[in-house]
């Protein structure tokens, strides 16, 4: 996995082929126990969809749908599957409540009602709520096999977490006894779990690097005429970026339908 090694500066990160992520998942799955299958599937989802670790670890069995079917408002054709992610987005800006009871913008220096200083006013933090996002790709995606190999082990209950904790409590930095541990299906892994898994393979690899690899590949993919395959809006929707600055950082404009077109073609990146 030397080609995946990177430093702290994103501008100096390497641009390896996505097939490297397939090799990474294969190395994790070599453990040939339930934890190896679980961990490989978890990293595979991050590699397929470029999602953040916390958006992946809390997935439940009901969040994965195989076509022909529908997930959210997205139709799934034969040979496709979709995943329902919940993205944490800020719903409202921070506010401050003056002693007079008036709620002001957190930027206000003086209360708009009584005119007094807001220096010691009560801060009301930003409200956050999950936003539903639906992504799809092909069952033939090279990384999909790791996910579906693990899904065979998961109880049919729709509430079962796809990436459960072990029944053996361990201290930070330690790992459970793989021979005697069992999955606790109603308790998900923490968002740091993908990082710990990758560290066992290569200490220079972390989850966001996989997101970077996919983002770099999609934003820079061109057709034979030299035109970008995906437009700016499609890429932003696929990765659920809040603004275009991140997109611009990857190349030196919708909604879910357009993002779905990106997902349908991600598997083609592995073809010559």
Q: pLDDT tens-digit profile of 23-75?
A: 889 999 988 789 999 999 999 999 999 898 999 999 999 999 999 999 888 89
Report the length, in residues, of the chain. 272
Q: Is 198 exposed, middle or buried (0-12, 13-18, 19+ CB in 10 A)?
A: buried
DSSP, residue by residue, 164-220? EEESS---TT----TTT--EEEEEEPPTTHHHHHHHHH-TT--HHHHHHHHHHHHHH
Residue 238 CB neighbours (<10 A) = 25
Asked whether 218 and 267 are in contact (CB, 8 A), the reply is no
List the Cα angle 182/191/151 in 5-degree steps.
45
Q: How far apart are CA 197 and CA 29, in angstroms?
A: 11
CA atoms in the 13 A half-sphere facing the CB of 31: 20
Number of neighbouring beta carbons within 10 Å of residue 117 = 13
Q: How far apart are CA 85 and CA 131, in angstroms?
A: 8
The 8-class DSSP code of residue 108 comes to -
Which region among 56-60, 86-90, 95-99, 146-150 has the lowest average model confidence (pLDDT)? Answer: 86-90
255-266 pLDDT, tens per residue?
445 555 555 555
Distance CA 2, CA 94 (A): 43
Confidence of residue 11 (pLDDT cuts 50, 70, 90): very low
CA distance 201 to 199: 5
Q: Is this model's pTM higher than 0.75 or not?
A: no
Greater confidence, 93 or 199? 199
Tens-digit pLDDT profile for residues 214-236: 887 787 778 888 888 888 888 88
The domain made up of 16-87+130-270 has a fold known as hpI Integrase; Chain A (1.10.443)
Residue 31, classed as helix, strand or coil, is: coil
- Backbone φ and ψ for 6, nearest 5 degrees, come out as -150, 160
**Number of Cβ atoms within 10 Å of the Cβ of 230:** 20
| Cα gap 21→233, rounded to integer Å | 25
pLDDT at 151: 93
With 50 as the cut, is the pLDDT of residue 15 above it? Answer: no
């Amino acid at each position: 996995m030397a080609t995946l090694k990177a430093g702290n500066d994103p501008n100096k990160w390497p641009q390896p082929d996505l097939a490297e992520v397939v090799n990474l998942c294969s190395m994790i799955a070599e453990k040939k126990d339930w934890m190896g299958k679980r961990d490989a599937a978890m990293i595979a989802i991050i590699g397929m969809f470029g999602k953040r670790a916390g958006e992946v670890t809390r997935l439940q069995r009901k969040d994965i749908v195989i076509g022909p079917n529908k997930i959210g408002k997205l139709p799934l054709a034969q040979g496709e599957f979709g995943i329902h992610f919940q993205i944490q987005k800020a719903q409202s800006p921070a506010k401050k409540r003056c002693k007079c009871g008036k709620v002001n913008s957190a930027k206000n220096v003086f209360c708009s009602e009584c005119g007094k200083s807001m220096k010691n006013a009560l801060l009301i933090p930003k409200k956050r709520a999950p936003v539903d996002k639906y992504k799809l790709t092909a069952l033939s995606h090279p990384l999909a096999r790791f996910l579906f190999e693990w899904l065979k082990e998961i109880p049919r209950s729709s509430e079962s977490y796809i990436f459960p904790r072990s029944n053996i409590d361990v201290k930070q930095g330690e790992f459970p006894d793989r021979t005697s541990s069992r999955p606790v299906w109603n308790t998900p892994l923490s968002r740091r779990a993908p990082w710990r898994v990758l560290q066992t393979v290569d200490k220079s690899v972390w989850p966001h690097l996989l997101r970077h690899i996919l983002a770099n590949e999609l934003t820079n993919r061109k057709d034979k005429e030299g035109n970008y395959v995906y437009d700016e809006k499609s890429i932003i929707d696929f990765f659920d970026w809040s603004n275009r600055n991140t997109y611009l950082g990857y190349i030196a404009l919708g909604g879910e339908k357009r993002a779905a077109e990106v997902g349908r073609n991600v598997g083609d990146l592995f073809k010559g």
